[in-house]
Structure formats: C-alpha cells, structure tokens
Amino acid sequence: MSSQANKNVDIHDEENYDPTVWVPKVNSHGTSDIWNRFWILLGLTIIDVGFYFILAPGMIRNIIFIVLGIVKAWFIVGTFMHMKHEKKGLSYMIIFPMILIIFFLVWMMYEGHFWETFK
Amino acid sequence: MSTQTISKLSIWRGGNSPFNVSYGKLMMWVFLLSDAFTFSSLLIGYGAIRYSYPSTEVSQIESLELSFGENIQEKFAAPGVDAHHGEHFIPALREAGIFNELQWPSPDLVFNHFPFAHGLHLPLIFVSLMTLILILSSVTMVLAVEAGQRADKKAVGKWMFWTIVGGFMFLSCQAWEWTNFITAGAEPMSNPFGPPAFAALFFLVTGFHGFHVFSGVVLNVIIYINNFKGTYEARGHYEMVEKVGLYWHFVDLVWVFVFTFFYLI
C-alpha cells in the first residue's frame, strides 16, 4: 500500500521535504572496517578475562574494566551503529548525557562504599 | 539566486532534517538514549549496593586451593556421588565462611559452570562465550545493514538469518545460566552465596537485558520476513534494517556493561 504511494514521491528529495517518507541517500562503507572492529572487541574481551585472573581485586582493576568497557562501547557505537558517519550535532546529543552517567556511576560506587559503616 | 545552488542539508534553512537523518531513525536514537538511562539506573543501583558490602578476601579464595579446570566434585563431594554444586561445593564454602550474608561473593566462585563439563571449576568461560556470541551476532547485523545499503536483498536475508540464530543462541545460554543459578538455590529474596541483593540484582538486570534480547529477536524475525516478502525492495530503501540494527547493537552494548559489572567487578 505504502509502496504504491512512494512511487510518485522522490524519497531523497531535499527541496520538497516530506518527513513521512524522506530518507537520506546512503552508501556502503565496506566490510573491512566491520571485521577489523570485531577482532578488536574480541581481543578486548580476552584482555578483560586475563586481567580478572592476573590482577588482584580492587579499585585499580575496576577502573581498568570500566575504561575497557568504554573503549568497547566506543567501537560498537562508532562503527556498528554508524555514529562516526552521522552529523556532529546528533552524536553530541547522544554522547554528552552518557558521559554524565559514567561520572554518576563512579560517584555512586564510591558513595556506596561509605554505607558499609552505617549497617 | 545564489542560494539555490546551496543544498538545504549543508546549511539548515528549515523544511528538512538538520541532522540529515529520517524521522524514524532519529526517534530510534532518542528511544535508545532513554533506554540507556533505564539500564544506567539499574547499574548505578548495582554499583552502590555492591560496594556497600566488603569484597571476598583474596586470601579466602586462595585458601580453597582451586585451580582452573579442577574437578570440584571429587574435591568436595563424597566419593562416587554425582551431585550439583548446591549439595557439596556451596555448603562447604558456607561452612568456611567464604559465602556469607555480610560479604559480596566473588563471581568466579558462583559462575564457574560450563555445559557438558559437569563438576569442573571453569570460572567466567561460559559468560565469555555468551559475550562472543552476542558480538558475533552484532557483526552479522551490521553486515545485513551494509548489504541493505547496497540494496542486496539476498545478502540482507542471509545475514539477518545468522543474526537471528545468534540471538537464539544467546537466549539459550542465558536460560542455561539461570537454570544453574536457580538449581544452586538462588531466589529473588534469598540465596546461598551472599547478601539477598546479590541474586535479586542478578535476576533483575540480566532478566531485563534478556527481555531486550528477546524483543530484538522478534524484531529481527519481522525484518527477515519483510525482506523475504520484498517490502523494502518495493519501498526503495532498507532503512528499517538499519533502525532495528541500532536496537540490536544497543542490546550488545548493554551486555558489555552487564558483563563488566556482574562478572568482572
């Protein structure tokens, strides 16, 4: 039904913008980048497990895990979710609130440590 | 007029998308941001409660003298008895004071099972496999999106199929993990490993994530069927694959942090 209607409208037309059908023109960025990121993510996961057994538990090890998690998130969001090909305004809209969340997370882990003494 | 040569997309003059994305894709990003807040609130709650308890001492774990891949059943159960961890390993650790309500259990003493390796001490291996499965299914999803950008219907179908397989594999792994955890005696309000919040948070966060994976698999199946029917070919673009792809990558992204917080920290 909708495909019938779309035949009369240019879905990429910038001058007669119709938000219900308009989509930007897309072009493929190839697959080599994708597999490259897969090996990086696999390597980081193996490093994570390695650090778990090598390093003693503590705040330093936790910070290493959180930093490695952010690095993994960077590759997933950047390449897999095509964030690096989006307009800067859109990526700032998504990334900026999440940076504040990381701050809040570390703060609450530190805060929780002090609740121990109130039990 | 000189302005007619400038594309509306290079300088925003209204009447089109300033971010150069379609309405649906922008709304998917907004939804994912709000969903990220929900998961963040769960992980922030976890972090605060986790650190309100002391960690298991390294000396306590070393006193068990467990080596990687060792047969726990031979070490802790009566000779010739084939039993679950809940009947020998966990009671022994409770008696030694390693599992008690006042300290947070060490994940490698709780999640040390692997399918078809009954009784062996294999910490973190199964959850690493689950991570690998989810990252691989994310890769096949992004390959489906890439095929959609080339309007290659057959390749989209092929990669969507493998993404769905990966999703089902992950869900099966999680069902197995939950079964083991429940068989060992974990309940939402109590568990033999440590503080009640340990199992409660595990069920809440991995359950919420598992429900997202399930929804993602359902969406992937819908995309696969629509692609098979030729809906996107007739529409002239495969952006729907990209939008559901964003959701699927988000599920993978959340797992990275669930893995970090529940199994590593």
Q: Least CB-CB distance to A14: which of B16, B36, B138?
A: B16
**A94 close contact with B: CB closer than 8 A:** yes
Q: Do A80 and B264 touch (CB under 8 A)?
A: no
Q: Least CB-CB distance to B138: which of A65, A80, A108?
A: A80
Mention every residue, 6+ apart, whose C-beta is less than 8 A from residue A44: A68, A71, A72
Cβ atoms A98, A91 nearer than 8 A: no
Question: DSSP letters along B57-125, please?
Answer: PHHHHHHTT--TT-BHHHHHSPTT----GGGTHHHHHHHTTSS-TTSBPPHHHHS---TT-TTB--TTH
Q: Which of residues 132-161 of B touch A (CB under 8 A)?
A: 132, 135-136, 138-139, 141-143, 145-146, 149-150
Q: How many angstroms away from the CA of A40 is the closest CA of chain B?
A: 11
Q: How many angstroms away from the CA of B69 is the closest CA of chain A?
A: 14
- Residues of chain B scoring pLDDT < 50: 1-3
- Give chain A positions within 8 Å (CB) of B237: 11, 23, 26
Q: Is the pLDDT of residue A79 over 90?
A: yes
State phi, psi for A12 to the nearest 5 degrees: -100, 5
- Better pLDDT: B83 or A42: A42
Residue in chain A closest to B23 (alpha carbons) equals A19
Q: Is the pLDDT of residue A4 over 90?
A: no
pLDDT, tens digit, 9 for 90 and up, residues B170-220 = 999 999 999 999 999 999 999 999 999 999 999 999 999 999 999 999 999
Rounded Cα distance between A46 and B82, Å, is: 32
**A23 close contact with B: CB closer than 8 A:** yes
Q: Least CB-CB distance to A87: which of B8, B20, B142?
A: B20
Residue in chain A closest to B264 (alpha carbons) equals A52
Looking at residue A98, what is its pLDDT?
A: 92
For an interface test with A, the pick among B13, B233, B256, B261 (most A C-beta atoms closer than 10 Å) comes out as B256
Q: Do A17 and B15 touch (CB under 8 A)?
A: yes
**A54 close contact with B: CB closer than 8 A:** no
Q: Give whole-number Cα distances, B209 to A21, A77, B1, B38, in Å.
A: 32, 18, 55, 11
Cβ atoms B156, B241 nearer than 8 A: yes
Cβ atoms B27, A92 nearer than 8 A: no
- Residue B32, CA atoms < 13 Å, CB-side half-sphere: 27
CA angle B179-B180-B184, nearest 5°? 115
Q: Least CB-CB distance to A116: which of B15, B21, B54?
A: B54
3-state secondary structure of A81: coil
Q: Is the pLDDT of residue A74 over 50?
A: yes
Looking at residue A110, what is its pLDDT?
A: 87
ipTM summary value: 0.88
Unique residue bearing structure tokens 């997309």: B9
Rounded Cα distance between A57 and B34, Å, is: 33
**B41 close contact with A: CB closer than 8 A:** no
Model pTM? 0.90
Q: Least CB-CB distance to B236: which of A11, A41, A86?
A: A11
Mention every residue, 6+ apart, whose C-beta is less than 8 A from residue B132: A42, A45
**A35 close contact with B: CB closer than 8 A:** yes
